[in-house]
Structure 1
Amino acid sequence: MDLKLHQCFIAVDDHDKALTFYRDVLGLEVRNDVGFEGMRWVTVGSPLQPDVEIVLEPPAANPDASPADKEAMAQLLAKGMLRGVIFSTPDCDALFSRVEEYGADVVQEPMDQPYGVRDCAFRDPAGNLLRFMERPRD
């Protein structure tokens, strides 16, 4: 099969704060900004990967979600319990400095991992865990 990842989804509770972080701090480009039935979806992506997009969506964006399900999702997001994504970067330390300067919640400072990468971690404004890894240079 010829498969490629096209989109992944990250729940956010404030799209404007998320845009400031993903666009202005991380340097991702905004590809789409759509409102529908009182909800908003913003699609961002790296200029280096035009075929891969991250959709910043409301928690429990499923129209069939019950009010209880939506509340549970909002609570999990507030606790930072929803998964985020892992980015790669050629310079983990420089990225760390930039994101830390913005004031993001630091989860892990840059460190060399026993499995061969150098990485760091932050939480985005909604509490999602984001990791940034630098592969060893050959």
Structure 2
Amino acid sequence: MEGAAAPACTYVAGIAGPEGIWCAWIGDSRAYWLPGEGTCLALTEDGSGRHDALTAWLGADADDSPARARSYRPQGPGRQLLRTDGLTRHVSDADALRAVLTRVRRPTPPRHGPLDDARALIGYALGAGGQDNITALLIHTDRPRRGY
């Protein structure tokens, strides 16, 4: 099909363990560290440029831009969040993400977990008019190993 756009996607992956957290990404899908206390942190750098145009992606017409990776060693418990650009459009920074989660967790329902947090973030974006691919995954890390 001449003139048709080639299939493409962005990508983010994360791993959390007692030694730290890791993420890899390409494009505008993002990863964040949301600690129980302290400053939230963006783990990825956005793969979009001027006017929110993608500068890197996976697909038939992608250039040779490699996926990028980062590691982080948190000092306490928290959550690693992986998300797509549909959520980014409505909650754009790490502290705002934690604020949304804090609002929906008061009072904390029994057995509230990562799936509930992901649903809360997606619900917030949908409530704000979100239509683009809204995806959220949270990985809780309770006990990081000390002394590294």
TM tier, smaller: under 0.3
Higher relative contact order (CA 8 A, sep 6+): 2
- The structure with the greater share of residues assigned to strand is 1
**TM-score normalised according to structure 2 size:** 0.25
